[in-house]
Amino acid sequence: MAKKVNIGIIGFGNIGSAVADVIRKNHAVILANTGLDLRIKKVCDVRRVKAPFKVTSNALSIINDPGISVIVEAVGGVDPALKYIMSAIKHKKHVVTPNKEVIAKHMTEILGAARKNRVQVYFEGAVGGGIPIILPLRESLAGNQIAEIYGIVNGTTNYILSKMSKEGKEFDVVLAEAKKKGYAEPDPTSDIKGYDAAYKAAILAATAFGAHVEQKDIYCEGITKISQEDIQYADQIGYVIKLLAIARLVEGKLEVRVHPALVGKEHPLAAVSDNYNAIYVKGYPVGELMFYGQGAGGNPTASAIISDIIATANIKSKNRSAKLKKAKLRKIDDISSRYYIRLEAPDKSGVLAGISRAFASKKVSIAAVVQKEMVGNIATIVILIHKVPEKNLKAALKIVSKLPVVKKICNVIRII
Amino acid sequence: MAKKVNIGIIGFGNIGSAVADVIRKNHAVILANTGLDLRIKKVCDVRRVKAPFKVTSNALSIINDPGISVIVEAVGGVDPALKYIMSAIKHKKHVVTPNKEVIAKHMTEILGAARKNRVQVYFEGAVGGGIPIILPLRESLAGNQIAEIYGIVNGTTNYILSKMSKEGKEFDVVLAEAKKKGYAEPDPTSDIKGYDAAYKAAILAATAFGAHVEQKDIYCEGITKISQEDIQYADQIGYVIKLLAIARLVEGKLEVRVHPALVGKEHPLAAVSDNYNAIYVKGYPVGELMFYGQGAGGNPTASAIISDIIATANIKSKNRSAKLKKAKLRKIDDISSRYYIRLEAPDKSGVLAGISRAFASKKVSIAAVVQKEMVGNIATIVILIHKVPEKNLKAALKIVSKLPVVKKICNVIRII
């Protein structure tokens, strides 16, 4: 039996509308995964909004609606978001919000009211966009002593630093480009000064260490002083520069800070580039972990919000032991892939022509012939194949292996 | 009020004893995080075991014990592990197991029995060791249509491939070294032939797609044919070779396979080396995600097992809205860090001597002076500083900035 969950969304911009969109498109899969029938009952926005459900400009008409059990707050900022959240809690609604600023600044107050009113307030989307980090910290790592948690939690600054690093341009130039491309806001202050990352640092500290941290107590330094010279020197000595949000327990005291840092190239965070986010966790007994993904945007954030909506229904046990279905399987011959082929051939003219003809006869198309090295009079040839059904490749290789100009097919490896 | 959870452990080897050890060491933190008082009541092993709790060689005496609510099966393999698991379920015990083989081969049977007897069977530790992957897939991604999930799920083969790549040695040589160092089992067949990865592929397919997949239906190819030549050619064209477990939904059919694959160096999996594991997920709306960490070993696996034990108690809501404590904070001046310093100085003799003296006077020790470039008669000097309290560094920099031989301190960046 499906359990109906009526949802109200306050704020119908990028994120709010993505939530509605995904709930519509993934309705069947959510029902199958969780037994929940998610319904958007009403949305609120001060702008005119086209939507296939009731739209109001009065948030209270959602908060007061006795038919709605979960409110998604997607307004952003503190005012009026905090007012909406507190009012929803008092009206015994669960609240789901990706609003990092209001959670960072008012978490104690919000969670206190939630406890008192026996409702849940979840905020998976407030850190790392679609990356599951709050739930894994709270539940998967509940048996751990977390020593430190730090990460790349701001996509704009990571995009800028990555571009500076790859293209050798200065901060101001890259920032201007990022604004044009929509990777930076028209007013990027909160990102480049580190304020956005500081909100997330407070939320991570609260989640990992149960600690209430005021924004004023977080040391916060942005990336505006990072020059091309620093990036190049860092590179030469084996480091990349990243803006990190850090929460670390040292001798019983908590350090919470945001600043650029040199990260060794061997560190898993070093490979996190462009607008991606990643959060690194160290604890006992788990050792090192990293969670990587898209840290912002409507769709990834909607993933987090919907998982939180599902969590408010508390259907864990059903979900966890769902019945498996017999899968319709695709056999290995029926998959399609790109391929790497290494073969040996005597260095005669006509080798490649012969191989190409054989491949073409089975509709196998060569993407590149990348190497040709001689040992004695035997050449090693490496061929990359465009995406093709595996059975075609196998049929072609059968022909190739019998060509008089081919000595041996040494290896065939799929390319992911 | 703490809720007592009495645990029985069957199989007291590396993993079973790590679970007991961690529950003892992290007892207070688990209690604070979850309100649960975890107690090991009895352990079973056929070997003689020294332990501060009741030890038996008779698994049934644990399974029958009415005081025990959760059984950790840490025997491994199918026989007798399956018997123990089924018997525990029939005795209405929750079961937690990191046993990939028994779960991969008998998941449908085990979960069916668990449903019937209204108990939970959890197996977070069966894939990716300490990496939270089963819970995030089930809960954090419950609103997603997963398109594909693939990853590096076998530490032994990833260690071997990484070493071949870094050190230019052939497979056989590296395998022999890995055995000596304990990174490969004396009989490494299950790892190097890909069987271990195939168990995990089946579990990932079941978790992400709700699909029952038989082992015989999983295409499975190990790493024994990967030669140094392939690794080098792949490197030249921008790829690394990894053993992947893959589950992918293509036009309504599921592909489940294990084989080596060329992975582009820009792909987040490419940077996962040595014995680390990582699982990459692509879905709508979340986009791309990666979960990275230690894929084996007593401690990481114990982290997963303990989170599963906690999950059997179903205390989600309490856990999620725990009260925050006012944190004891460490101010930025009181942190210790390594530092990168870039400064400009006229190219006079005595520059470095003067700077070194200034640093030494505040107990700041230089790790390296790494660059010196001239523009006109001004030299840029980059100095790396050993770990030191920030206040000492600041005091030293105040002196340095006033030295007549120093023109300007251009930037100071912390090294993580």
How does pLDDT run across B144-159, given as a tens digit for each residue? 999 999 999 999 999 9
Q: Which of B330, B333, B375, B383 to mutate to test the interface with A (most CBs of A within 10 A)?
A: B330
Q: Which of A303, A333, A387 to mutate to test the interface with B (most CBs of B within 10 A)?
A: A303
- For the record, the structure tokens of B40 come out as 């090991």
Whether B120 and chain A come into contact, CB under 8 Å, resolves to yes
B115: helix, strand or coil: helix
pLDDT tens digits, one per residue of B298-357: 999 999 999 999 999 875 544 445 678 888 899 999 999 999 999 999 877 788 899 999
At residue B313, what are phi and psi to the nearest 5 degrees? -80, -10
* Complete DSSP assignment for B325-383: EEP-BPPGGG-EEEEEEEEEEES-TTHHHHHHHHHHHTT--EEEEEEEEEETTEEEEEE
DSSP state of B138: I
**Are A175 and A282 in a shared domain?**
yes
Q: How many CB pairs under 8 A join A and B?
A: 406
Final residue in a domain of this structure, among B62, B91, B126:
B126
At residue A130, what are phi and psi to the nearest 5 degrees? -80, -5
**Which amino acid makes up residue A120?**
Q
For residue A6, the cross-strand partners are A39
Give the CATH number for residue B40: 3.40.50.720
- Chain centroid to Cα A390, Å, comes to 31
Cα separation, A325 vs B294, whole angstroms: 31
Q: Has residue A317 got a pLDDT over 50? A: no
pLDDT > 90: percent of chain A: 88
Q: Has residue A332 got a pLDDT over 80? A: yes
**Are A259 and A377 in a shared domain?**
no
pLDDT tens digits, one per residue of A74-121: 999 999 999 999 999 999 999 999 999 999 999 999 999 999 999 999
Q: What burial class does residue B318 get, using C-beta atoms within 10 Å of its C-beta: 0-12 exposed, 13-18 middle, 19+ buried? A: middle
Give the CATH number for residue A384: 3.30.70.260
**Are B114 and B168 in a shared domain?**
no
Neighboring chain A residues of B257 at a CB cutoff of 8 Å:
332, 335
Q: Is residue A315 part of a domain?
A: no
Confidence band, pLDDT 50/70/90 cuts, at residue A376: confident
pLDDT > 70: percent of chain B: 98
**Are A357 and A395 in a shared domain?**
yes
Q: Has residue A42 got a pLDDT over 50? A: yes
- Cβ B250–A330 below 8 Å, yes or no? yes
pLDDT > 70: percent of chain A: 98
The single residue of B42, B93, B163, B200 carrying the catalytic annotation is B200
The partner residue sitting opposite A237, judged by closest CB among B293, B370, B416, is: B370
Final residue in a domain of this structure, among B81, B106, B126:
B126
- Chain centroid to Cα B351, Å, comes to 46
Neighboring chain B residues of A254 at a CB cutoff of 8 Å:
327-330
Confidence band, pLDDT 50/70/90 cuts, at residue A410: very high
Which residues have a Cβ under 8 Å from the Cβ of B309 and sit 6 or more positions away?
A143, B5, B7, B38, B70, B72, B94, B96
Average pLDDT (B2-21) is: 96
**Are A350 and A276 in a shared domain?**
no
Q: Are strands B253-264 and A287-294 parallel, antiparallel or unpaired?
A: unpaired
Average pLDDT (B350-375) is: 89
Final residue in a domain of this structure, among B95, B126, B157:
B126
**Are B264 and B382 in a shared domain?**
no
**Are A60 and A164 in a shared domain?**
no
ipTM of this complex: 0.94
- SS3 track for chain A: CCEEEEEEEECCCHHHHHHHHHHHHCHHHHHHHHCEEEEEEEEECCCCCCCCCEEECCHHHHHCCCCCCEEEECCCCCCCHHHHHHHHHHCCCEEECCCHHHHHHHHHHHHHHHHHHCCCEECHHHCCCCCCCHHHHHHHCCCCEEEEEEEECCHHHHHHHHHHHHHCCCHHHHHHHHHHHCCCCCCCHHHHCCHHHHHHHHHHHHHHHCEECCHHHCEECCCCCCCHHHHHHHHHCCEEEEEEEEEEEECCEEEEEEEEEEEECCCHHHHCCCCEEEEEEEEECCEEEEEEEECCCHHHHHHHHHHHHHHHCCCHHHHHCCCCEECCECCHHHCEEEEEEEEEEECCCCHHHHHHHHHHHCCCCEEEEEEEEEECCEEEEEEEEEEEEHHHHHHHHHHHHHCCCCCEEEEEEEEC
Interface of A with B in 314-353 (CB under 8 A): 314, 316-317, 319-332, 334-336, 340, 342
Q: Is residue A302 part of a domain?
A: no
Query: What DSSP element (H or E) covers B149?
Result: strand B145-152
pLDDT of residue B350: 81
pLDDT of residue A139: 94
Cα separation, B49 vs A110, whole angstroms: 49
Domain that holds residue A78: 3-126
Residue numbers of A annotated as active site: 200
Interface of B with A in 134-153 (CB under 8 A): 135-136, 138-145, 150
pLDDT of residue B322: 63
**Are B230 and B154 in a shared domain?**
yes
What average pLDDT is seen over chain B?
Answer: 94
pLDDT of residue A174: 97
pLDDT tens digits, one per residue of B291-308: 999 999 999 999 999 999
Nearest to B100 by CA among B138, B62, B73: B73
pLDDT tens digits, one per residue of B78-89: 999 999 999 999
Q: Has residue A195 got a pLDDT over 50? A: yes
The partner residue sitting opposite A142, judged by closest CB among B30, B237, B298, is: B30
Domain count, chain A: 3
B272: helix, strand or coil: coil
